[in-house]
Structure formats: structure tokens, C-alpha cells
Amino acid sequence: MRSVPPREPFRFAAGLLVVALLAVFPLSGCEKLDRNMYDNPAFRPQEEPVRLPPGASVPTKGLEHTPKPGTAEAAALKNPEKTTDFSLLTGKELYGIYCTPCHGESGKGDGPVAKKFVPTPADVSATGHGSHHPEGDLFAVITHGQGGMPPFRSDLTAKERWLVVAYLKTLK
């Protein structure tokens, strides 16, 4: 039977330690290979990062100017959309989505949620504001909102707002 010299287990352990260190050493730098997490621009939680447009870009939003409701400039606006059966149908559909909850199907301000508002929503039918307000003023109110009514500029395009105005003129 051969006996193990006293130094042999120490050499084996030292060799194992060297191999382990050589295997771990290259992995220690892996965390910084992708610097994006370390060099990230700081912003607060739940805050949108500021994204600047590329140089010489052409803006696609924000060029529209709509006068405030009740001004002479707003009253002078004319509906650029032709009134056809399809445009009235589209206007009715948009009115049903965005306006009916407050103004009701008839436009009298008797929608399902109107009872919760003080003051109640305006009567936009032909017997109410729809009759004595010009198209441009109605368009400005839809765009900017008025009183308790929120603005719909970000929800509806200018064309869609004009289609709603055309439909409002048909309410009786």
C-alpha cells in the first residue's frame, strides 16, 4: 500500500483554488460590459423621459390654431367638411361615443351621467345652444372645452370635431 505524501492534499487544494480563481476572474467584469444600465439618463419614477426631436425635423402636431370659444374669431370659422349622409353618420357615431354620456342622445343635457354634474351639461340641441351658436363657436367649445366640459382636442382630430358639429346641427 502506497502512502500519500503529506504535501499531496495541499497541492491538490491549491490547484483547485487556482482553477476556481481563473474561472471566476473573467466573469467579474461581465456586469459592466453593457454600460446602458450604468450611464442611463436620470429621471424621476413615473416621469416620461424628455425626447428631443431630431434636428431639422418637421412638426406634425401642434400647428393647428383654434380660437377660444365665444370670440368673434371662433364664430367666423366655417365647417370645411362637406355634409353628406356618411359624414353625418360618422358624426353621429362620434357624438355617441364622446358626447352622449353627458349631453344625451337628444342633446338636451340629459345623458346618463348628467345628473352627477353641477351645473348640468348644456343643451346642444336645435332648441338650445345648437341653434344660436355658430358652427365655429361649437367647434371651439369641443376643442377647448368650456365650464365643466373637458377639451377634446387630443381625443378627436379637427376633421372628427367638425363632423360632430355637423351632426349637432341636425339634432332636434
Give the model confidence (pLDDT) of 154-163 as tens digits. 899 999 999 9
Q: Structure pTM?
A: 0.63
* pLDDT tens digits along 42-95: 666 677 767 777 888 776 766 678 899 989 999 999 999 999 999 999 999 999
Please give the mean pLDDT across all residues of the chain. 82
| pLDDT at position 9 over 90 | no
Binned at pLDDT 50, 70 and 90, residue 11 comes out as confident
Q: What is the crossing angle of helices 158-168 and 85-98, to 10°?
A: 100
Q: Where are the domains of the chain?
A: 9-37, 72-168
**Of 121, 137, 102, 124, the residue nearest 169 (C-alpha):** 124
* CATH class, range 72-168: mainly alpha
Name beta bridge partners: 149.
146
**Of 66, 62, 82, the residue nearest 136 (C-alpha):** 66
Task: Evaluate whether 138 touches 129 at the Cβ level (below 8 Å).
Answer: yes
Least confident of 10-24, 34-48, 71-85: 34-48
